[in-house]
Chains A and B, each alone.
Chain A
Amino acid sequence: MTDRLPGFSTLAVHAGAQPDPTTGARATPIYQTTSFVFNDADHAASLFGLQAFGNIYTRIGNPTNAVLEERVAALEGGTAALAVASGHAAQLVVLQQLLRPGDEIIAARKLYGGSINQFTHAFKAFGWNVAWADPDEIESFERAVTPHTKAIFIESIANPAGSITDIEAIAAVARKAGVPLIVDNTLASPYLIKPIDHGADIVVHSLTKFLGGHGNSLGGIIVDAGTFDWSKDNKYPMLSEPRPEYHGIRIQETFGNFAFAIACRVLGLRDLGPALSPFNAFMILTGIETLPLRMQKHCDNAKAVAEFLSTHPAVSAVNYAGLPGDKYNALLRKYAPKGAGAVFTFSLKGGYDAGVNLVSNLKLFSHLANVGDTRSLVIHPASTTHSQLDDAAKVKSGAAPEVVRLSIGIEDKEDLIADLDQALRA
């Protein structure tokens, strides 16, 4: 008998979560504890030596967080996952496994502004160098490859303009270079795009956005696709070499196709420390149960709002891949036929000042630095998230002075359109 394969919505509700063995609780309990007792000295030694599966300390793992990890791994089609405190923490922990001082990462120029800052400044201080490439020009990734390149990093749907990345084309560059492709899938969520199906080796998320979905809990996650051979060229000693932290264990040899997730846990999270609170894990898990319903509504609302703005006299341009004439529409039909997400930008004829005015005149849209909330959000990137970039970099990353970014919520679309209309007229 062949096992039946469950659909996405079934996984969103069930994956990772079985009734609690101790109490029978059906909802996932919040294991709000720092530590877990050992059965005896040998059990403790087995756990510390990575010989047994089990819980030691919440900085390394927690049963509530483990449900979240398995659920996102299942939704993305990965072998395992590791939840951490934020999307930024996920990126830090991933790159710590891959890069040594003097190594390089090639990153798409169109990224969340916070990621651009993290890569440009914080990681540079570790001796991790970034080479920027243009996701609209695949050859720019090929040209950036050097003997020091250890990974390629892109967003599936890219911040802030909601552009669609040709994941398969960039995956081919990564394969040729012998390095893993890391895809930040935050803005798409696995409901719209599953990067692993298109060649990603590692997927990261800010769970804070659509997966959690309610703007109430920070979190990040790393998903291991189980596709990359870390031992092939000895380029990744954290996975291929005997680890002195664990008496000489080789992580890939011991953990096979989920070795990367284990390395992130036992070498990254354990030693860097950005653990996710079990309470946040519970909130995010609850959010994920309705991800398919919310994400479709987000997309449908966003398309209606983008259509409205595209005909508005105060608006000079709308960047939304879901509009038929958009330059990313062909890639959208290939990668995300269910919808173009809910984050996009548009440009005002009135420039920087019109952007500032619009934000202050809106009554339903909240002015804040987040996306992927049930509520509709607005921000003027040039004066906020991307303000630390110089003018040329602002334009290149899609955050020119006249640009406003929206994150469309799940309210009634007529109310969102009415709010934008009155604010644009005011």
Chain B
Amino acid sequence: MNHDAYDDNYIRSILNNVKSIAMVGASPVNVRPSYFAFKYLAQRGYDMIPVNPGHVGKALMGKPFVASLADIDRPIDMIDIFRNSSHIMPVVEEALKLSPLPKVIWMQLGARDDAAAEKAEAAGLKVVMNRCPKIEYGRLSSEISWMGVNSRTLSSKRAPIPTQGMRLSLNRTSFGGGQTAASDRAAKNKTETT
């Protein structure tokens, strides 16, 4: 598995197939990136569970915080880890004790732990590192193009009209688009030097 560059189809299949997402490190503060991503994914219809021991007793968009993955009362498809690279491994180890196992470990933009990824992949999980599911969803549905962002996709097919709360057109097949190789290299150099 090449964790420097993911095929669109790999990301697309994850975002199309997971239904419940536990977000470890979710913040109730409405200017934090985790809050942005939580709200966005909840509005796209994912069953979101905020995990943060510092906020138990509070709720995020009506969803009560839980202290740890073990406290979640239902199977989870994906764990989105909003923590620094140095805090990834314990979360992955906790995830691997769950039954049933989650299907996907997702580490947020800026976070990467290759050893933790290897461990999760050995247990049959899919892993995404150093990406944001909100950005990837926006990119593959072309919604992010409204902000002038290079979605790196091309398509001659008409997209459904986007409305709040519905899944956008992740299922459209699209042709690869413009590349951002320079940015990918810079990200790799950054994670290697930190």
Contact = CB atoms under 8 A, between A and B. Distances in A.
Contacts of A248: 31
B149 A258 contact: yes
A371 B135 CA distance: 38
Contacts of B31: 49, 242, 246-249
B158 interface: yes
Nearest to A42: B164
Contacts of A137: none
Nearest to A229: B190
Interface string A251-276: 00110111001100100000000000
B146 A77 contact: no
Given A39-B164, A196-B182, A253-B33, A19 B146 contact: no
Contacts of B135: 256
A43 B148 CA distance: 20
Contact of B7 (A2, A225, A256): A2
Contact of B146 (A66, A227, A242): A66
Given A229-B190, A246-B31, A257-B183, A15 B178 contact: yes
B183 A226 contact: yes
A80 B150 contact: yes
| Size band of the interface chain A makes with B | 35 or more
Interface string B143-173: 1111111111011111111111000000000
Interface in B54-94: none
B142 A79 contact: no
A33 to B, nearest CB: 14
A341 B132 CA distance: 40
Given A3-B176, A6-B177, A256-B109, A227 B8 contact: no
Contacts of B180: 77-79, 226, 257
A203 to B, nearest CB: 11
A311 B9 CA distance: 57
Interface string A111-143: 000000000000000000000000000000000
B109 to A, nearest CB: 5
A366 B175 CA distance: 42
Contacts of A227: 182-183, 185-186
A61 B146 contact: yes
Contacts of A249: 31
B16 interface: no
A29 interface: no
Contact of A261 (B110, B146, B148): B148
B169 to A, nearest CB: 9
A43 B164 contact: yes
Contact of B147 (A39, A43, A197, A262): A262
B164 A74 contact: no
Nearest to B147: A53
Given A43-B164, A77-B180, A228-B186, A16 B145 contact: yes
Contacts, number: 160
A392 interface: no
A14 B149 contact: no
Contact of A80 (B30, B149, B157, B162): B149
Given A80-B150, A226-B183, A66 B145 contact: yes
B135 to A, nearest CB: 7
A15 B177 contact: yes
A249 B154 CA distance: 31
B119 interface: no
Given A5-B179, A53-B144, A247-B30, A46 B154 contact: no
A24 interface: yes
Nearest to A63: B146
Contacts of B181: 77, 197
B157 A70 contact: no
Interface string A11-23: 1001110111110
Nearest to B43: A52
B148 A82 contact: yes
Given A3-B9, A6-B177, A55-B146, A39 B163 contact: yes
A229 B31 CA distance: 21
Contacts of A49: 30-31
B186 A80 contact: no
Interface string B98-116: 0000000000011000000
Interface in A43-74: 43, 46, 49-55, 61, 63, 65-67, 69-70, 73-74
Contact of B158 (A4, A16, A21, A67): A21
A131 to B, nearest CB: 26
Contacts of A20: 158
Contact of B36 (A19, A51, A73, A226): A51
Contacts of A5: 176, 179
Contacts of A75: 178
A78 B150 contact: yes
A362 to B, nearest CB: 40
9 contacts: A3-B7, A4-B175, A15-B154, A53-B144, A73-B178, A197-B182, A229-B186, A253-B33, A257-B180
Interface of B: 7-9, 30-31, 33, 35-36, 39-40, 109-110, 132, 135, 138, 142-152, 154-164, 175-183, 185-187, 190
**Closest CB pairs A-B (n = 4):** A74-B178, A226-B183, A69-B148, A3-B176
